[in-house]
Every structure is written in structure tokens, then in C-alpha cells.
Structure 1
Amino acid sequence: MPRTHPLVIGHRGAPGYRPEHSRSSYDLALAMGVDAVEPDIVVSKDGVLVVRHENEISGTTDIADRPEFADRRTTKTVDGAELTGWFTEDLTWDEIATLRCRERLPHLRPSSASFDDQQPVLRLRDVLDLVRAASLEQGREIGVVLEIKHATYIDALGWELSGLVEAELTDAGWAQGELPLTIEAFESTVLQQLRERGIRGTYIYLLEAAGRPFDLVAALGRAAPTYKETARPAGLDRLAGTVDGISVDKRMILAPDKLGRVSGPSAVVADAHARGLRVFTWTCRPENAFLVGQYRGRGGAAAFGDYEGEWAVIRDAGVDGVFVDHADLGVEFFRR
């Protein structure tokens, strides 16, 4: 049966209310009834798949306040961007396990920040087991949307990331369609590698509103196609048959003008659907700071604006999945 509403995906759990990727963030999203949750993965020094939005973790853990790790602070170039901080690949899992989660946006989400320094960092296996347990407890299938971060960069460190992912999914009982699995990345190369390894799931290619995918930049230089080019009909023609869908920055659907007025929905959803591709979008958030100008209200950046007005444009475009930070608001709105 076709879906009557888009898949509502708890983006890093429920980070509108709890520090992203923390145990309580996932517990809350699952309790609020999301269809799936989305862990991001990076790698530790000893090859453990760690659930963090980025491999640089000073903004989402207490590592900067831990004197025993002061000497690990360094500067690296990740996907062409220079970053200074602490990186998961320089820490063993046992070291990472001593760290505690922190709210990434404390100025916007002070209530979430009140839960800082209370919960350990999770591994991918922890999230997979958590979702399986929730599926059994709630009597419904709950999915995992696994986002693989910085695959080309991580492989260059000496890891075969697709092999690590395959081993973890197989060991956890998620590799052969046991529960709904979606795998997504901003790099198509790692998606292809996992598909060739026989991992059963839905493969989604993430598209930024600007820039180029790092795997293709590494291979082709300036000849690499931009994300914008990939979202056009000719680019979608090339994707059809290689992935199951795309996941786009919501601005690619809303198409705001320079004054912040929405001109969308753009053609990208219909164009993708015409080629048999599903379309997800990210990230539906209610705070003024994240809304297109037309839908912002009073009260400052952290106040909720007319998020339902913005989300209605996305819903009416016919998307197949939405990533939400406030799981309860997403479930309530997109299931009406």
C-alpha cells in the first residue's frame, strides 16, 4: 500500500528537547511515535562506529573541559575544510565512552542544554539495539536512517568504512531487511559500495543546496558535478537506477527569493518522482532561526514562528520523508 503521509524521521533523535544523539534524545523520539530515527556515524581510533554528527566533537561533548584530552586538540582538513578541535579518530572507543553529550545549540535550546553532561556517547550498535527493542515494545516496525559521514576522508585514514558498516549491521541483525533500514550519505561512492556488499535497504543520496560531493571532488576535481546539477532533470536521469531516492535541503523545495519569500514548491520533487526516485527533505524545525524569512515571527531566534506554514509547502510538494527535530510536532503535523 502507498504511504498516506511522509515518513517522519527523528533527526538525531529528538534534539529539539534533548542533546542530539543522546540516549534520552532517541528514547523521546521513539516514545513520540516517529517512523524512524537517524543516527550519524563516524569512526573511533580503534574502528568503532560512533554516533556523532561530526568527527570533530568539541561542540557536542564535554571533551574541551577534560584536561586528560588537552593534548589531542589539533587542526585537520576534513572534506576540504580546515577544522580545529578534537576528533573521534584520535580517540579509542574506551576514551570516547568516558565523554558526556552536550547540546550543540545551547543559545537556541537552553532547555535541552539543561541535560548536558549527563549521558554518554553512543555507538551505532547501541542505537540499532534500542530501535529493535522499541519496535518489539510498541508492536510496530520502527526504522533506522543511517547517515554515513565523511566516507572518503575516513577511508583515507586506512579504514574501509563500508566494511565496518557491513560487519556492524550484520552482527546486529539489520543487514538483510529484518527491520526497515535506510542508508544515506552525501557521497554516492559509499552507497554503491554498501549496495555491492548486499546490504538490504533503501539507498538515499543526500544533496546540499550548494557545493560538490567530496568523493567526486577527490576523483574528478573541478569536473565533479555540483549538488545543484545533480538535482536537475539530467542529473536525476543519471541517478535513476543507482539509488532509491534523494534527500534535499528544504530550501531546494521552498525556493525562497532574496527577500525570504517562498516561490516553491520547486520542480525537484516532481522531477525525482517522474524518474522513480523517492524524495526526503531536511530539516523541519519550528524555531525562527531555521525558518525561511516569510514564516518567522516575533520573539527572537529561539521562538517558534509559523512553522506549520512552511511545513505545509513541503508536505504539499509530496515528499516521501521529512527529518524533524521536534518529534511530537512532526508526527502531529505530517500525519494529519
Structure 2
Amino acid sequence: MQAAPSLSDPIVIAHRGASGERPEHTIAAYELAIAQGADVIEPDLVPTKDGALVARHENEISETTDVADHPEFASRKTTKTIDGKELTGWFTEDFTLAELKTLRAKERLPLMRPDNRAFDGQETIPTFEEVIALAKKHGVAIYPETKHPSYFASIGKGTDAPLVAALQKAGWDSAEAPVFIQSFEVKNLQRLRGMTKVRLIQLVDGAGAPADGAAPSYAAMVSPAGLKAVAVYAWGLGPNKGMLWDGDAPTSIVADAHAAGLRVHPWTYRAENYFLPGRHRDGINPRGRGDLQGEIAEALRLGIDGFFTDFPAIGVKARDEARHASLGAK
């Protein structure tokens, strides 16, 4: 069985693969991330009509596939309400895996990442099993996110059991397994605590609350008392990277989470100016690239234990240079 990545250094988590340079959640994006030195690859998981788990950012797939170009699926277009939001499009739970495999992936942010459009149409939608096989082949960890677990459970397509079954089939059912399971909801992580021994990560955002109503707000969850409650069932905390800062000054969230016994893996570090804080932007072009390495270095100095990035090569460089600087200071 593979060992989990070393926790002596912060881990670099390839967010949907190397999604800054390839269409997200494709084998090509994951392979590039691995080649760039990522410790972990991240698949978001949604179910198909026939119960398979596939890697897509959302179950609505018009932004990430060519489904709209398939006349045979035109009648599948519909409107649904998911976690309180009305969405119109095509949804994975209305397609069998065989049908989804006839689609091809495309860049989700074509205006922000126009170069990635050169790879449109080249990749299929990967299954969770395919992602596991890729991780095993290259000796990296996986970081699956359960998307909309309450919604899927409500339509009879719960994802917790098939997720655990796939991990068990892979031989991954211990705290040392190269797996981290993440969720923005609370109740499914609490259920998973009784279903598997792999590490669980509570995701939190700077606004809003869990869709399952398990907490009044994410803000309440990251109070010292809230973090202690999270630590009862979770191994780590995944905060929006903006929660590490109040303007240019650091907040106490990293220290508070550590005090509660939680590791901290903020999300998501991206190179484009649009996603960077003002102090790290270069010019005014939203899709121009700024100082992502500097932004990550700042977070590393706060003591984070890992981070999600669309640009693993930059993340690895930032992590390694921070390590060398730390060793040189001793």
C-alpha cells in the first residue's frame, strides 16, 4: 500500500489537476500536475444515472463539456434547484456513464485561460476509478471532494457509500492512506467518520453556511469553539485563502485551527491577476499573471500545512524555496 505524502513539509494539492494549463478534471490535467511535482491531485466527484462517480467541478456540465453540441442529448436540457440555486443545463445524474464517455472536455474559463482552448475536445470525463489508478501508478495522493452530498442523497444518488467502496477496493481505509476527503457540508463528513478511517477535511468559505444547515454560518465554524467542534470529526480545515487575511494583515485562523488540532489547507491559489490580491497583481489585465509565488510564500509563512493551486509548478517552487529558506535560517 502506498504511504501518504510526507507531512513534514506543506503539501501541494493540484486543484482539479494543473487546471491553469489544461482543461480541469481531465487525465491530461492530472498527469501534468504530477509531472510538475504535485503531491496530491484533486477530483470533485458527482454521480451518473447508473451510479458511477466521475470527476467534474459540478454536475451541470455545459461549461466543462461539449454536451450542448450533441443533438442526441438536446432533450436532456433541464432546470434544477441545487443547494438553493436554480440552474439550467445538462446534469451528470441524467446520463449513464457510457453516455458521458461520448462527451469531450473543454476549458471552463475560456476568456481567462484562452490558451487552454487548444486542448478542448481531446479528453473524456474520467471516472473516480481512473483517477485512483493514475494516482497509484505515480505514487501521489488524492483529495476527492463530495459535491452537493445532501442534494444527491435527496434524489437517491448519495455519494458517500460509493466513494468509500471505491477507496476500500483500492486498499485505502486508514489514516495513513494517501487520501483526504473534503466537503463544504458537515453531516456527510460526520457520517463518513463512521464509514472510513481516511482523513476528512472540512471546507469553509468566507461567507455563507453549509448547505445542509448543520451550522448557522462558516464564520461560526471558524471561531475557536467552532473549530473545536470541527476537530471532533475532521482532520483538517480547508478555508478560502482570503480568510487568512484582513486586508494585508494576517488573521488568526491558522493559529486557531492549529490550536484545535486541525491542519490547514487553504484554497485556491491562481496566477491570474483577477484571482490575486492587489499587492500581488502585475498590471491591470485581469488574465495577466501576477506574483502567485509571492502570494503562496506569504501563506506558507503563516504556517499552513498545504494548499490548493491551479498551477502546481509554481506551488512546488514556492514550497521548496520556503523550505530552503527555513533550513538556511537554522
Instruction: Compute the TM-score of the two structures, normalised by the length of structure 1.
Output: 0.91
**Is structure 2 residue 298 aligned with structure 1 residue 300?**
no
Q: 2:48 matched to 1:48? A: no
1:175-254 mapped onto 2 (5 Å cutoff) = 175-176=173-174, 179-197=177-195, 199-216=196-213, 224-254=215-245
- Secondary structure of the 2:213 match is helix
- CA deviations over 1:27-56 (Å, ceiling 9, x no partner): 101111111111000000111001101010
Residue 334 of structure 1 aligns with which residue? 319
Aligned match of 1:220: none
C-alpha distance in 1, partners of 2:298/2:81? 37
Query: SS where residue 125 of structure 1 aligns?
Result: helix
Q: 1:124-163 CA distances to partner (integer Å, 9 max, x unpaired)?
A: 000000010112xxxxxx2111111000000001123221
Residue 87 of structure 1 pairs with residue 91 of structure 2? yes
Match of 2:154 in 1: 156
Q: Deviations over 1:93-140 (max 9, x none)?
A: 1110111011111111111111001110001000000010112xxxxx
Question: Match for 2:245: what amino acid?
Answer: L
Identity between Structure 1 and Structure 2 (%): 45
SS at 1:216 equivalent = coil
Contact 2:240 2:266 in 1 (8 A): yes
Q: Aligned-residue CA RMSD in angstroms? A: 1.6
1:269 and 2:254 equivalent? Answer: yes
**Separation in 2, partners of 1:134, 1:205:** 27
Q: What is the CA distance between 1:311 and its match in structure 2?
A: 1.9
Matches of 2:48 and 2:122 in 1, distance apart?
Answer: 21
1:96 alignment partner AA: L
AA aligned to 1:321 is G
- Equivalent residue, structure 2, for 1:139: none
Is the 1:54–1:149 contact (alpha carbons within 8 Å) kept by the matching residues of 2? Answer: yes
Deviation of 1:173 (Å):
2.6
Structure 2 residue aligned with 1:33: 37
Aligned pairs, number: 317
- Which residue of the other structure, out of 143, 146, 171, is the alignment partner of 2:144? 146
Do residues 13 (structure 1) and 17 (structure 2) align? yes
State the one-letter code of the partner of 2:319.
Answer: F
Please give the alpha-carbon distance, in whole angstroms, between the structure 1 residues aligned to 2:237 and 2:301. 17
CA displacement 1:253-274 (0-9 Å, x = unmatched):
0223xxxxx22x2100000101
Q: Within 2, Cα distance between the matches of 1:267 and 1:174? A: 34
Kept in 2, the 8 Å contact 1:79–1:150? The answer is: yes
8 Å contact kept, 2:16–2:29? yes
Letter in 1 for 2:17: G
State the shift of 1:315 in Å: 1.0
Q: 1: distance between equivalents of 2:118 and 2:197?
A: 39
Q: List alignment gaps of at least 5 residues for structure 2.
A: 322-330
Against the structure 1 CA distance between its residues 152 and 83, is the aligned structure 2 distance closer, same or farther, given a 3 Å change threshold? same
Match of 1:23 in 2: 27
TM-score (normalizing by structure 2): 0.92
Instruction: State the match for 2:104 in structure 1.
Output: 100
Give the residue type in structure 2 aligned to 1:326.
F
**1:65 to 2:63 alignment:** no
Give SS of 1:283's match: coil
| 5+ residue gaps, structure 1 | 136-141, 218-223, 257-261
**Corresponding residue for 1:172?**
170
The residue matched to 2:81 in structure 1 has which SS? strand
- Residue-by-residue CA offset, 1:208-231 (whole Å, 9 max, x unaligned): 1110101126xxxxxx42001111
The residue number in structure 1 matching 2:327 is none
Aligned-pair distance for 1:5? 2.8
Q: Are 1:316 and 2:301 an aligned pair? A: yes
CA distance in 2 between counterparts of 1:242 and 1:178 reads 16
- Please give the per-residue CA displacement for 1:2-25, whole angstroms capped at 9, x wherever unaligned: 844311011111011110011110
Instruction: Give me the whole-angstrom Cα distance separating, in 2, the residues matched to 1:235 and 1:176.
Output: 26
Query: What SS does structure 1 have at the residue aligned with 2:102?
Result: coil
Equivalent pair of 2:184/2:202 in contact (CA under 8 Å): yes
